[in-house]
Structure 1
Amino acid sequence: MMGTTLNATFETRREAEMTVERLVQEHGLARTDIFIAAAGNENTVGEEQAGSDSDAGDPSPEARGDAPLNGAVTVSVDIEDEAMVTKVRQAFGEFEAADVSES
């Protein structure tokens, strides 16, 4: 198999980061083969706040409202092992990826 790249978009940075952690910790992918970026031209934490971008419970510092909600977050994974393609697709699905594509 020649290399494959799987791409997906996520509504929140948290979903993207959880996907990356699943791929690295449970499936042994190298972090250097995984790329996270804004889907558009502007910095973004996703389309809605989640995880560390959300309000925390008490006691906590004062809530912040400056998380840049400028669109989706893209995760791209370079894969050399054909068996890993299915695992990456499953991880994308587990964390509600959209627009999954292969290049």
Structure 2
Amino acid sequence: MADDSTKTIRATFETREAADLAVEHLVQQHGVSRPDIFVQSASDRNTAGAAPSGGDASHDEGARHDAPLEGEIEVSADVASSQVAAVQRSLGDAGALHVSSR
């Protein structure tokens, strides 16, 4: 009998760039539909991450100061129980600071 249950995977990232990469991994490598992936602040504060990256980092003048760097970003999705280990590895490869499932 196959296990059809799902688990919610949550991962936290230091930068928006790493969170976006994680979303791409979930979609392209694991077939998770984009509407089933949630990206939000890992705390109650509005944030673009804990460190500048990508468009937040200006190479000419240093980091931009118009985006709040108030904390980590959380990516979550429901995945099949059989995918949990592979998804956790993939999120780690994308730069997750912490990955959990329930």
TM-score, scaled to structure 2: 0.84
Aligned residues with identical type, % of pairs: 42
Deviation at 1:99, TM superposition (A): 2.3
Task: Find the counterpart in structure 1 of residue 83 from structure 2.
Answer: 84
Equivalent residue letter for 1:41: D
Structure 2: distance between partners of 1:21 and 1:31: 9
Task: Check conservation: 2:25, 2:91, Cα contact below 8 A.
Answer: no
Deviation at 1:56, TM superposition (A): 4.8
Deviation at 1:7, TM superposition (A): 0.7
Deviation at 1:83, TM superposition (A): 3.0
Q: Deviations over 1:6-44 (max 9, x none)?
A: 111100011001010121123221112211100111211
| Number of residue pairs aligned between Structure 1 and Structure 2 | 97
Map of 1:1-103 to 2, 5 A cutoff?
A: 1=3, 2-56=5-59, 64-79=64-79, 81-103=80-102
Deviation at 1:91, TM superposition (A): 1.5
Equivalent residue letter for 2:85: T
Q: CA RMSD in A?
A: 1.7
Task: Check conservation: 2:12, 2:97, Cα contact below 8 A.
Answer: yes
Q: Deviations over 1:39-67 (max 9, x none)?
A: 1112111100101211156xxxxx74211
Equivalent residue letter for 2:11: A
Equivalent residue letter for 1:88: V
TM-score, scaled to structure 1: 0.83
By percentage of residues, which structure has more strand? 2
Structure 1: distance between partners of 2:89 and 2:98: 14
